[in-house]
A = this chain, B = another copy of it.
Amino acid sequence: MTRELRIGAAQLGPIGKDEPRAVVVERLIALLRQGADAGCELVAFPELALTTFFPRWYTQDVAGHDHYFEKAMPGPDTQPLFDEAARLGVGFSLGYAELTEPDACGDQHRYNATVLVERDGSVVGKFRKVHIPGHEADEPSRPFQHLERRYFEESPDGFPVWRCFGGIVGLATCNDRRWPETYREMGLQGVELILIGYNTPIHYAPDPSQNELQGFHNHLTMQAGAYQNGTWVVGVAKGGTEEGVESLAESCIIAPSGQIVAQAVTTGDELITATADLDWCKQYKETLFDFARYRRPDVYQRITSQKGVIEP
Contacts and interface: CB of A to CB of B under 8 A. Distances in A.
B207 A309 contact: no
A285 B309 contact: yes
Contacts of A181: 180, 184, 295-296, 300, 303
A283 B293 CA distance: 37
Interface string A277-312: 000000111011111111111111111111111111
Nearest to A206: B287
Given A220-B224, A311-B189, A303 B206 contact: no
Interface in A77-134: 130-133
A305 to B, nearest CB: 7
B302 A185 contact: yes
Given A285-B309, A309-B285, A131 B216 contact: no
A292 B308 contact: yes
Contacts of A57: none
Contact of A185 (B130, B284, B300): B300
User: For the complex formed by this chain, how many copies does it contain in all?
Assistant: 2
Interface string A244-260: 00000000000001110
A5 interface: no
A210 B288 contact: yes
Contact of A188 (B131, B210, B309): B309
B213 A258 contact: yes
Contacts of A158: 299-301
A60 interface: no
Contact of A304 (B133, B292, B304): B304
A239 to B, nearest CB: 20
Most chain B C-beta atoms within 10 Å of own C-beta, residue among A133, A159, A294, A297: A294
Contacts of A258: 213, 216-217, 220
A304 B296 contact: no
A183 B300 CA distance: 10
A133 B213 contact: no
A133 B287 CA distance: 10
B303 A304 contact: yes
Given A217-B258, A300-B181, A206 B288 contact: yes
Given A178-B228, A304-B304, A257 B210 contact: yes
18 contacts: A130-B296, A131-B296, A155-B299, A156-B298, A161-B312, A178-B228, A180-B180, A180-B183, A181-B296, A185-B299, A189-B302, A207-B287, A210-B283, A213-B258, A216-B259, A292-B307, A295-B307, A297-B306
Interface of A: 130-133, 154-163, 168, 175, 178-181, 183-185, 187-190, 204, 206-207, 209-210, 213, 216-217, 220-221, 223-224, 227-228, 257-259, 283-285, 287-312
Q: Which 7 A-B pairs have the closest CB atoms?
A: A292-B308, A158-B299, A224-B224, A180-B180, A206-B287, A190-B311, A188-B302
